[in-house]
Structure 1
Amino acid sequence: MIQELDLVALLTDRPALGLRRGDVGTVVHLYANNELCEVEFINAKGDTVAVETLATAEVRAVDLGRVILHYSDLETAA
């Protein structure tokens, strides 16, 4: 179960935000029914790139022992 401050990964691209499947963010708020969460995405410098309300079905919890981080340029919305 996803909890506040958990790292989560997007399951689908979000082109309007310049985010792609696999991008990792932090859950900053869970709504009462636990079906929606507010997720903050930051760049490597720690600057906020996006804060988005997502269905918990649109993300998955990140198991830090099972992932390899990778480099990804931010896409800019057209």
Structure 2
Amino acid sequence: MIKELDIVTLTHDIQEHGLKKGSQRAVVHCYADGQAFEVEFVNDSGKTLALLTLEKADLHVTSDLG
């Protein structure tokens, strides 16, 4: 089960945002249905690169911090 603050890994590239398979970032919101999640991708300086709504199939839980 994916929860807020979990660290997740992308299961595929998202080319339109320059994100590569294997990119890791934090879940910042879980929708009530448990099927969609807001994930924030940041660079090394902490600048947000993308804030995306993704589905379970797009993600793999790397670290359960939530």
- 8 A Cα contact 2:6 2:63, kept in partner: no
Deviation at 1:35, TM superposition (A): 0.3
- Alignment RMSD: 1.2
Structure 1 length normalisation: TM-score?
Answer: 0.78
Q: Which has the higher contact order (CA 8 A, sep 6+)?
A: 2
Alignment: residue pair count: 64
Cα drift, residue 44 of structure 1:
0.7
Which consecutive residues of structure 1, in runs of 5 or more, have no partner in the other structure? 65-78
Q: In the alignment, what sits opposite 1:26?
A: 26
Runs of 4+ in 1 over 6 A off after TM superposition: none
Q: Give TM-score, length-normalised by structure 2.
A: 0.91
Which is richer in strand? Answer: 2
State the structure with more CA Rg: 1
